[in-house]
């Protein structure tokens, strides 16, 4: 009986070695496939990045014109449209005046201050949207005209 146990043990060890070899081969295949997938993902990301850069470089003032115009009409008193166009100082001024107006609205005077800032934003938004693309680009992005 001990020879049978010994033969059975040897058979089990052989099967275990075969299982280890199979697991190692499968692990190597999985590792190779993961590297291929990773390389494909890197290539796709690079192509996307290159395409996005190309679109960004070719974009005109049209995108900023519409965005700034709509934001000026909707959120004009906050000066968000000024920040979009790169006029940080003017945007900060509008935002600061509006915040002071909101605080002073308890007294009643602040309502008029916020209302005036909203009217300024509305007027600027209408001006932005009624200009042609070239005129908007030359006036607000090249010429850097901050108000009206």
Residue range of the domain that includes 69: 61-142
DSSP 8-class letter at 148: -
Residue 107 has, within 13 A of its CA and on its CB side, a CA count of: 10
Specify the length of the chain in residues: 148
pLDDT given for residue 98 in this prediction: 92
Residue 79 has pLDDT above 80, yes or no: yes
Contact 87, 146 (CB under 8 A): yes
DSSP 8-class letter at 79: T
For tokens 């915040």, name the residue.
Answer: 99
How far, in Å, CA of 20 to CA of 120, rounded? 76
Residue 73 has pLDDT above 70, yes or no: yes
pLDDT given for residue 23 in this prediction: 81
How far, in Å, CA of 46 to CA of 142, rounded? 31
Is position 147 within any domain?
Answer: no
What is the pTM assigned to this prediction?
0.55
Last residue of a domain, one of 14, 37, 58: 58
Residue 58 has pLDDT above 60, yes or no: no
Q: Residue 53: which pLDDT band, with cuts at 50, 70 and 90?
A: low
- Kindly state whether residues 122 and 54 are assigned to the same domain: no
pLDDT given for residue 4 in this prediction: 64
């Amino acid at each position: 009986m001990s020879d049978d146990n010994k033969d059975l043990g040897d058979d089990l060890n052989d099967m275990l070695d075969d299982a280890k070899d199979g697991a190692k081969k499968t692990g190597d295949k999985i590792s190779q496939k993961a590297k291929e997938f990773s390389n494909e993902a890197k290539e796709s990301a690079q192509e996307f990045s290159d395409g996005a850069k190309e679109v960004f470089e070719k974009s005109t003032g049209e995108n900023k014109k519409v965005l700034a115009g709509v934001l000026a009409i909707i959120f004009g008193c906050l000066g968000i449209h000024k920040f979009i166009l790169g006029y940080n100082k003017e945007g900060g001024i509008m935002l600061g005046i509006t915040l002071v107006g909101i605080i002073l609205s308890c007294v009643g005077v602040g309502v008029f201050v916020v209302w005036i800032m909203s009217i300024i934003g509305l007027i600027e938004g209408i001006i932005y949207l009624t200009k042609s693309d070239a005129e908007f680009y030359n006036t607000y992005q090249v010429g850097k005209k901050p108000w009206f």
